[in-house]
């Protein structure tokens, strides 16, 4: 696999804006809120296993190309008040799996979530996220080799603890 990094697609808070085309070979996937759904012929093979970063991690089970759609973030949809309550608890145990989908609306990947909850934090991520309709989808920020751990910058430093 070519280890050269590709330039990242244009990024907002969650990744590329609407109507960005992501290529997988000669197949195109279009992220378009106006269309309502993303048409994607295939997603990458992903595996959960022990991580050097934290507990379990999500790893590529094949070579993944830059811009490829990886996995949707799934879980229980909750409001801001419940998200703040759960965040306090999750911080106390050193594990958090909450993402804000829109203003005041969150997804808790620990309840009814899928393998995406095992994507660990990194300040040098190889995975980005984009809003798709009412959800969030992870995609490759660069080429990812078979067996490489998927990481996302959740915007926090796990080495820093909140003051009481």
Q: What is the pLDDT of residue 43?
A: 62
Q: What is the pLDDT of residue 159?
A: 58
Query: Of the candidates 151, 150, 154, which has an alpha carbon nearest to the alpha carbon of residue 44?
Result: 150
Q: What is the pLDDT of residue 157?
A: 60
Half-sphere exposure of residue 95, counting CA atoms within 13 Å on the CB side?
12
What would the two tokens of residue 26 be? Answer: 């000669």
Q: Are strands 120-121 and 151-152 parallel, antiparallel or unpaired?
A: parallel
Question: Residues of CATH 2.170.270.10 domain(s) within the chain?
Answer: 1-74+114-153
Q: What is the pLDDT of residue 81?
A: 96
Q: What is the pTM of this model?
A: 0.68
Q: What is the pLDDT of residue 52?
A: 93
Mean pLDDT for the chain overall: 76
Q: What is the pLDDT of residue 95?
A: 78
Among the residues of 57-103, which ranges form H helices? 80-93
pLDDT tens, the chain, 164 aa long? 444 444 444 333 343 333 333 333 223 333 333 344 444 445 679 999 999 998 899 999 999 999 999 999 999 999 999 999 999 998 888 777 889 988 889 999 999 999 999 999 899 999 999 998 889 999 999 999 999 999 999 776 655 544 43
The fold of 1-74+114-153 is: Beta-clip-like (2.170.270)
Question: Which parts of the chain are beta strand (E)?
Answer: 20-24, 27-31, 46-50, 56-60, 69-73, 76-79, 98-102, 105-108, 120-121, 127-132, 135-140, 151-152
Length of the chain: 164
Strand partners, 28: 23
């Amino acid at each position: 696999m070519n280890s050269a990094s590709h330039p990242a697609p244009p990024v907002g808070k969650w990744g590329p804006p609407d109507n960005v085309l992501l290529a997988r070979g000669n197949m195109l996937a279009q992220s378009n809120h106006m269309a309502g759904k993303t048409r994607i012929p295939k997603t990458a093979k992903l595996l959960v296993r022990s991580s050097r970063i934290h507990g379990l991690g999500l790893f590529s089970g094949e070579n993944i190309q830059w811009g490829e759609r990886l996995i949707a973030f799934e879980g229980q949809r909750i409001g801001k008040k419940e998200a703040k309550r759960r965040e306090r608890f999750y911080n106390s145990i050193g594990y958090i799996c909450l993402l804000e989908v829109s203003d005041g609306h969150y997804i808790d990947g620990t309840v009814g979530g899928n393998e995406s909850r095992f994507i660990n934090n990194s300040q040098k991520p190889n995975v980005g996220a984009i809003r798709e309709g009412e959800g969030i989808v992870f995609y490759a920020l660069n080429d990812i080799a078979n067996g490489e751990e998927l990481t996302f910058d959740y915007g926090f430093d796990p080495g820093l603890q909140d003051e009481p």
